[in-house]
Amino acid sequence: MRIAVYGGSFNPPHVGHAMVASWLRWTDSVDQVWLVPTAAHAFAKKLTPFEQRVRWLGAFVDTLGPWAEVCSIEASLPKPSYTFDTLQALGARHPEHSFRLVIGADNLVQRHLWHRWADIEAAYAPIVVGRAGYPEVPDAPTFPGVSSSEVRDRLAQGLSVAHLVPASVLALLETQ
């Protein structure tokens, strides 16, 4: 099976993530999308606790369909979480699948900082997706410039995020 490994902080997951995951299936680029929350960010980004982000993603994938799954493999891997190591671990645990990394244009500009980027590129054929507000990537779709930071900022200001997150995630955000 062709699996898109869509990693990220998902702090929280938002409609931009949903659009990307859905596009991957709608275009038949992959058979399944595995959303992989980072357990410990390689660039020391402050994150909501891992377990909470996994709960958010559980509600999130329920809105997408049976082709989307939460994969919490990074909970069992050494910290910090390096994408190459995660992909290698997935390949070792699931040799029956082929894996491709999904990467946003916002992260693509930092790829020179990534651990073993050349190996990722060679072994996991990244699928690049653009985001409004970042340089365009040739032959890559561009999705709205929604960000988890924007969602968190709006929540901190007491503003609505109903237009930025799926209703299932919103229900969890409102109860915390």
Enumerate the domain spans of the chain: 2-174
Contacts 24+ apart (CB under 8 A), 125-130: 125/100, 125/101, 126/100, 126/101, 126/102, 127/4, 127/24, 127/29, 127/30, 127/100, 127/101, 127/102, 127/103, 128/103, 128/104, 129/20, 129/23, 129/102, 129/103, 129/104, 129/105, 130/104, 130/105
pLDDT confidence tier of residue 42, bands split at 50, 70 and 90: low
For 82-140, the pLDDT digits (tens) are 999 999 999 999 999 999 999 998 888 888 899 999 999 999 999 999 999 888 888 89
pLDDT confidence tier of residue 164, bands split at 50, 70 and 90: very high
Q: What is the predicted pLDDT for the residue at 135?
A: 85
Give the pTM.
0.93
Q: What is the predicted pLDDT for the residue at 43?
A: 62
Q: What is the predicted pLDDT for the residue at 173?
A: 94
pLDDT confidence tier of residue 148, bands split at 50, 70 and 90: very high
Across 13-21, average pLDDT: 97
Range scoring the smallest mean pLDDT among 6-20, 37-51, 84-98, 157-171:
37-51
- Residue 10 · residue 56 · CB < 8 Å: yes
Q: Which fold has domain 2-174?
A: Rossmann fold (3.40.50)
Residue 34 confidence (pLDDT) above 90: yes
pLDDT confidence tier of residue 44, bands split at 50, 70 and 90: low
Q: For all residues of the chain together, what is the average pLDDT?
A: 94
